[in-house]
Amino acid sequence: MPDAFSFHLLATDGAARRGQIATPHGTVATPAFMPVGTQATVKGLAPEAVRTTGADIVLANTYHLMLRPGAERIAALGGLHRFMNWPHAILTDSGGFQVMSLSQLRKVENEAVAFRSHLDGTMVELSPERAIEIQHLLGSDIAMQLDECLKLPAARGELERAMRLSLGWAERSKRAFEQVPPGRALFGIVQGGDDPALRAESARVLVDIGFHGYAIGGLAVGEPQEAMLRTIGEVAPVLPADRPRYLMGVGTPEDLIEAVARGIDMFDCVLPTRNGRHGLAFTRFGPINLKNAHHADDPRPLDEASRCPAARDYSRAYLHHLVKANEMLGAILLTTVNLAYYQELMASMRAAIAAKQFDAFRNDVTTGWQRGDLALS
Amino acid sequence: MPDAFSFHLLATDGAARRGQIATPHGTVATPAFMPVGTQATVKGLAPEAVRTTGADIVLANTYHLMLRPGAERIAALGGLHRFMNWPHAILTDSGGFQVMSLSQLRKVENEAVAFRSHLDGTMVELSPERAIEIQHLLGSDIAMQLDECLKLPAARGELERAMRLSLGWAERSKRAFEQVPPGRALFGIVQGGDDPALRAESARVLVDIGFHGYAIGGLAVGEPQEAMLRTIGEVAPVLPADRPRYLMGVGTPEDLIEAVARGIDMFDCVLPTRNGRHGLAFTRFGPINLKNAHHADDPRPLDEASRCPAARDYSRAYLHHLVKANEMLGAILLTTVNLAYYQELMASMRAAIAAKQFDAFRNDVTTGWQRGDLALS
């Protein structure tokens, strides 16, 4: 019988945490990075290639999948794991964020949000209860409550309204989730923008309601990195130590390290995949933009010491050629390189926390980034 | 020390031939299908994935590579095999075909062809001698002579002029190739359109000049399949039995079987890769267009008995979803399925020829195609 959801804290180093999540589809070592598989595919990679980069879990988007191919269709086909041929853990978001960011027309009321589909223009309604139902139909291991996420900067009144609305939806999500078979998890989402009092209230009420894990939403939405880190530093300590903490939609390699240093356990972000499709590689030497002409004659691989073959077996000259020629293989190789680098970074953080060497690790990694691209020449 | 080029005829069944080509980069079982790697990449697949489909050899395009990234650059980076991380055999075309099909402006004279680059508009000259030099710089195992290829229908006078020009270029290519280190091969190209007398003259003169192998060019350029097969049936028998015969730019699975039945040993074509990118799968049951809505709820894989995981591990519903959502993974999986199907077809033909069962095999395969997509339901 598959495992029910659980979280075990294995080690700490300062605020940084090393843990393990069990799910019905395998375990997830934390701190964990979740590649984004928006439309039931991590763009450019077959699922076994995603697994080979080191991912234990991927994120899929409720908003996209409810519109196409449809949650009921995926359920009839055996659920999302089978549909996308990914037998490992899946977290689904609630759809709220994309309703706000992708839909041209939307109407947020207490009962539900109504929005115009970006695909065919039809009006669709998403309530907290329907968001849970969809995630149940998909068969996700970790479901998220529906919330309203605002861009920053935003007026305090707006932040407060959206935060309270999200708390009401959290309560309803929890009730709706009682209908879902046991073993799966539901996470609440702390909102409140960059306002410490609103964040504190949101976190407190969510903990009172009680969730399997807690996400911090509404960050990396336009605010400076400093404001993001300050908010994380304020919110993480008031969340229960025995539940995983998920920072949504973040971030750069530096963001990940700084957030882990403040007690975050889980991340998702499109940066490694999207930037890979646009010619940017994340490496030990910092980001490398393969579009630049100075790579055209460079026989060196991106990183000869990487455990990722895509970073070892192809010259920068070849990657530059593929990117300039707009060849799919350029996007595929750089997506692979970036996801492998992100996973390597998470694995190194986990090892550093277990060894109580997180600060030294953070200094080493930062020094490598600052040394830069030309260090090998 | 790597093998020098050679061809051994291992078995025949009627006009169909089973053979083996040795090259400095490994052996090629014939009849062979060469995936097209236009810009030093088979679109959508890493080289090890191309190898896994069963390919012994790929084709790369001199025209594209001379313009970007440049033949001298690839030579300085260690040659095309290293550049594209493909350690197996490579055949390069001479560039002639793309000069005719891609360049908006061109001037064909006895000395050379001058054309405007489709990339940046600069005027570039390609002579028979330069075409050999470029292919030498790339390090190709099998080089092709520069030729002029006309679309059909064409006037006899034009066909005759282009054929005689190509013969002159064949002679000069042969002389230029004497400067290339031994072990590699040069193929001549029979031209003459759909005119039997011109084809016969072209073949005879090329055989007198003497090449390591002979290609039939100027087919699949607008003529009916019947005219193509008739021309193959006329030309193949006058080519020397101890040299490989390469039908350029062909074709559908049916074309391949019919051409092998007439004595052809090698093929290249963009159909499996291009059609894969456009949602079409080649299978034992004939072509399947994954764009069609009737696949949306179909849990069956494309072919559960295929040796290709991409054909076994994903439902038609999922492939349909990926194609409709314009996801890269749809193109990747269908390209893989198609190249694996083409290679499986070639391997089956080789086995059938060795067993003197080619006619029975041809009937079986054709029956499978006619049974169609819905046979399993």
Q: What is the pLDDT of residues A214-245, one digit of tens each?
A: 999 999 999 999 999 999 999 999 999 999 99
Per-residue pLDDT of chain A (377 residues; tens, 9 = 90+): 578 999 999 999 999 999 999 999 999 999 999 999 999 999 999 999 999 999 999 999 999 999 999 999 999 999 999 999 999 999 999 998 888 888 778 899 999 999 999 899 999 999 999 999 999 999 999 999 999 999 999 999 999 999 999 999 999 999 999 999 999 999 999 999 999 999 999 999 999 999 999 999 999 999 999 999 999 999 999 999 999 999 999 999 999 999 999 999 999 999 999 999 999 999 999 999 999 999 999 999 999 999 999 999 999 999 999 999 999 999 999 999 999 999 999 999 999 999 999 999 999 999 999 988 764 44
- Among chain A residues, the shortest Cα distance to B321 is held by A69
Q: How many residues does chain A have?
A: 377
Task: Return the closest-CA partner of residue B286 out of B303, B300, B269.
Answer: B303
Q: Is B78 on the interface with A (CB under 8 A)?
A: yes
Which pLDDT value is given to residue A374?
62
pLDDT at A372 (0 to 100):
81
Task: Output Rg (C-alpha) for chain A, integer angstroms.
Answer: 20
* Predicted model pTM: 0.97
The pLDDT assigned to B122 comes to 92
Q: Do A76 and B297 touch (CB under 8 A)?
A: yes
C-alpha radius of gyration, chain B, whole number: 20
pLDDT at B364: 96
CB contact A101 to B (< 8 Å): no
Q: Where are the beta strands (DSSP E) in B5-105?
A: 6-13, 16-23, 26-30, 32-34, 57-60, 89-92
| Contact pairs from chain A to chain B, CB under 8 Å | 100
Q: Taking CA atoms, what residue in A is nearest to B74?
A: A297
Can you give the three-state secondary structure of A6-65, one letter per residue?
EEEEEEEECCEEEEEEEECCEEEEECEEECECCCCCCCCCCHHHHHHCCCCEEEECHHHH
Are the beta carbons of B189 and B166 closer than 8 angstroms?
yes
Query: What residues of B are in contact with residue A40 (Cβ under 8 Å)?
Result: 318, 321
> In chain B, where do the E strands start and end?
6-13, 16-23, 26-30, 32-34, 57-60, 89-92, 106-108, 113-116, 123-126, 142-144, 185-190, 213-216, 245-247, 266-268, 280-283, 286-289
* Residues of A marked as catalytic: 93, 268
Distances (CA, A) of B124 to A198, B95, B117, B120: 67, 12, 7, 11
Q: Which of A230, A223, A261 is nearest to A245 (CA)?
A: A261
In chain B, residues with a C-beta closer than 8 Å to the C-beta of A274 are none
**What positions of B carry a catalytic annotation?**
93, 268
Distance of CA B373 to CAs A17, A161, B252, B284, B298, Å?
Answer: 53, 55, 17, 9, 12
Alpha-carbon separation of residue B78 from A199, A322, B25, B215 (angstroms):
58, 17, 14, 28
Interior/surface letters A98-115, b for 16+ CB within 10 angstroms, e for the rest: bbbebbeeeebeeebbbb
pLDDT of amino acid B374: 62
The partner residues of A33 in beta bridges, in order of sequence, read: A267
The Cα–Cα gap between B259 and B263 comes to 7
Torsion sign across C-alpha atoms A30, A31, A33, A34:
positive
Please provide the distance, in angstroms rounded to a whole number, between the alpha carbons at the two ends of chain A: 54
Report d(CA B281, CA B304) in Å as an integer.
14
Q: How many CA atoms lie within 13 A of A15 on its CB side?
A: 19
Q: What residues contact A118, with CB distance under 8 A and at least 6 apart?
A: A67, A102, A103, A104
Distance CA B146, CA A306 (A): 43
For B127-130, the CB contacts below 8 A with 24+ separation are B127/B172, B128/B94, B128/B169, B128/B170, B128/B172, B128/B173, B128/B176, B129/B172, B129/B173, B129/B176
Q: Which chain A residues touch B40 with a CB distance below 8 Å?
A: 318, 321
| B154 contacts B183 by C-beta, under 8 angstroms | no
Contact predicate A330/B106, CB 8 Å = no
Closest-approach residue (CA) in chain B for A64:
B325
Query: Is A299 within 8 Å of chain B by CB?
Result: yes
B85 touches A at CB < 8 Å: yes
Q: What is the ipTM of this complex?
A: 0.97
pLDDT of residue A1: 54
Q: Determine the pLDDT at residue B183.
A: 96
Each residue's pLDDT expressed in tens, for chain B with a length of 377 residues: 578 999 999 999 999 999 999 999 999 999 999 999 999 999 999 999 999 999 999 999 999 999 999 999 999 999 999 999 999 999 999 998 888 888 778 899 999 999 999 899 999 999 999 999 999 999 999 999 999 999 999 999 999 999 999 999 999 999 999 999 999 999 999 999 999 999 999 999 999 999 999 999 999 999 999 999 999 999 999 999 999 999 999 999 999 999 999 999 999 999 999 999 999 999 999 999 999 999 999 999 999 999 999 999 999 999 999 999 999 999 999 999 999 999 999 999 999 999 999 999 999 999 999 988 764 44
Rounded to whole angstroms, what are the CA distances from B198 to A258, A314, A329, B190, B240?
Answer: 74, 46, 42, 9, 18
At residue A71, what is the residue type? A
Q: Does A322 touch chain B (CB under 8 A)?
A: yes
Burial class, B54, CB count within 10 angstroms (exposed 0-12 / middle 13-18 / buried 19+): buried
